[in-house]
Amino acid sequence: MLDLKKLEVWFVTGSQDLYGEETLKKVAEHSKVIAASLNDSPQIPVRVVFKPTVKSPEEIFAVCQDANAAKDCIGIIAWMHTFSPAKMWIGGLKILQKPLLHFHTQFNRDIPWENIDMDFMNLNQSAHGDREFGFIMTRMRLNRKVVVGHWQDTESLEKINAWTRAAAGLNDWKGARYARFGDNMRYVAVTEGDKVEAEIKFGYAVNTYGVGDLVKVINETTDKQIDALVQEYADTYTLMPSLVKGGAQHQSLREAAKIEIGIETFLSAGNFKGFTDTFEDLHGMVQLPGIAAQRLMSKGYGFAGEGDWKTAALVRAMKVMGSGLKGGNSFMEDYTYHFNPDNRMVLGAHMLEICESIAQGKPSCEIHPLGIGGKADPVRLVFNTEPGLALNASIVDMGNRFRLLVNEVVAVNPLQSLPKLPVARVLWKPYPNMHTGCAAWILAGGAHHTCYSQNLTSEHLQDFAEMLGIEFVLIGKDTNLYQFKNELRWNEIAFK
């Protein structure tokens, strides 16, 4: 996936001229130390760049203007080591278009009990300087993340980590292109949405491309390219005997490889970050893309089936946010339930297209008939997934706004092997429990399509939603249906 170290956040310290040269020198020294320490921390995935202390409305405006224009700058971390009268910040904050994290920290961890004097007090004022800064952002109704804690504290670093990853996702959406092959699955409601509003709000463009144009690219694939990819399949996966060279269905494996090469060529030529397809519009294609979608997702492309561009884009953004972390992110669908009262759970899967990045062990490459679509049997990767904490995220179009809905879950191993289930799958238990979790999801209008994440937390997605200025709704350990319904009701007013 993406190397997040190509991106940077700027560490900006606020002060004022009243303190004199000596104090301001110390402020700059300390800021440099903190910025360098954040930059060097393995917990922070992006570069942290020190910026000279800002002490006037002009300097503040200039740094915000520079941040807006800097291509690799995905956000600002602001800290008031001393007092920085916040009316100075109005002009800059008004034009700032990048996310802001307010780091409420202090250079000294401990009070130096023996030596503390008024010089120390004069220098270490963030306890009140940051309150002044906080006020102006609240007064201006600006979204930001406030992280409180010492700058060497693992807990503070983890919160900054989540925010930088969310900012990387936001940055990735700016100017991104998503291709739709075919429209929405007929009559389906939740996968529809306002693509114009999405471009205004999210920054990415979704446009349609004729399946025939894709088929043309697929058909230009050479035998040599197909040979190489089929060899890669054989080296990477356990091929079902009929798919092996000389096997009765080997030709279908070659067809699947041809589709994968064709789609990747199309996407890379058009600089797309993801795509959707639909089984109702595959004119000229031999199979529904199965292994192709699975592998392209694991290379970092966003994908969702049935024309669901909102989920395709979300899958991509979450892959960017999770870059370098253990575990993966995949397109997912709530498929079927286990309602045993002692052990209620959801089986998640899709017709075919679950990303290989969440696989446990070596996937098995198989071919089986597909009941819908009327095409030849598609090749797909079949696997189970790792147990552990995970989440499902869904963006829904509420008509007047977008809602990002997250359900924290715990993935579990299947109770038995599933020898006749020919698709990749995940079993999970929703928080706070099956009944409340699923009821809350349905009340919130959450889609059956989601991005399933093994490596992001609700904190990443909450930060992401706040940066986008959209509604965020969490179903987690503390969710109570009575409160939850009220939250949805109140949000109707808040987003009116």
CA separation for the pair 316, 376 (Å, rounded): 29
Closer residue to Mn ion in complex, CB, 331/383:
331
Give the C-alpha distances (Å, rounded to integers) separating 336 from 324, 348, 495: 31, 7, 33
Distances (CA, A) of 377 to 313, 367, 372, 373: 28, 6, 10, 10
Which amino acid makes up residue 352?
Answer: L
Per-residue x/- track, 28-57, Mn ion (CB under 5 A) = ------------------------------
Binding span for Mn ion by CB under 5 A among 191-199, 276-284, 293-301, 302-310 = 302-310
Q: Which stretch binds Mn ion (CB under 5 A): 59-67, 142-150, 239-247, 300-308?
A: 300-308
Q: Is 396 in a helix, a strand, or coil?
A: strand
Task: Tell me the closest approach of the beta carbon of residue 351 to Mn ion, in angstroms.
Answer: 7
If the CB atoms of residues 264 and 308 are measured against Mn ion, the closer one turns out to be: 308
Cα–Cα dist 340/173, whole Å: 41
Which of 133, 301 has the CB closer to Mn ion?
Answer: 301
Q: Helix, strand, coil: what percent of the chain each, to 5?
A: 40, 20, 35
- Least separation in angstroms between residue 305's CB and Mn ion is 5
Q: Are 431 and 408 in contact (CB under 8 A)?
A: yes
Nearer to Mn ion, 380 or 460 (CB): 380
Q: Which is nearer to Mn ion, 260 or 333 (CB)?
A: 333
User: Which residues in 306-345 contact Mn ion (CB under 5 A)?
Assistant: 306, 333
Helix (H) or strand (E) holding 471: strand 471-475
Near Mn ion by CB under 5 A, which window of 5-13, 22-30, 228-236, 298-306? 298-306
Q: Where are the alpha helices (DSSP H) in 174-282?
A: 195-202, 211-219, 223-236, 250-269
Smallest distance, Å, CB 449 to Mn ion? 6
Shortest distance (Å) from residue 169 CB to Mn ion = 23
130 vs 306, which CB is nearer to Mn ion? 306
Residue 149 vs 305, nearer CB to Mn ion = 305
**Residue found under tokens 């706040």:** 466
Euclidean distance between CA atoms 172 and 183, whole angstroms: 24
Q: Does 290 bind Mn ion (CB under 5 A)?
A: no
Smallest distance, Mn ion to C-beta of residue 274, A? 16
Could you tell me the smallest distance in angstroms from the CB atom of residue 394 to Mn ion? 12
Q: What whole-number distance in Å separates Cα of residue 438 and Cα of residue 270? A: 39
CB of 410 vs Mn ion, minimal distance in Å = 23
**Contacts to Mn ion from residues 388-427, by CB under 5 A:** none
Q: Are the C-beta atoms of residues 193 and 312 closer than 8 Å to each other? A: no
Fill in the DSSP letter of residue 454: S
Rounded Cα distance, 463 and 143, in Å: 9
Give the number of residues written for the chain.
496
Residue 432 preceded by cis peptide, ω within 30? yes
- For Mn ion, give the closer residue by CB, 99 or 305: 305
Task: List the structure tokens of 291.
Answer: 């292994």
Q: Which is nearer to Mn ion, 264 or 333 (CB)?
A: 333
Q: Closest separation between CB of residue 353 and Mn ion, Å?
A: 9
> Binding of Mn ion at residue 446 (CB under 5 A)?
no
Quote the least distance from Cβ 330 to Mn ion, whole Å. 13
Does 305 bind Mn ion (CB under 5 A)? Our answer is yes
Minimum CB–partner distance for residue 323 and Mn ion (Å): 26
The count of residues interacting with Mn ion (CB under 5 A) is 3
Q: Which CB, 172 or 306, lies closer to Mn ion?
A: 306
Nearest to 75 by CA among 52, 54, 103: 103
Residue 275: C-alpha distances to residues 179, 209, 272 (Å):
5, 10, 8
Binding site for Mn ion (CB under 5 A): 305-306, 333
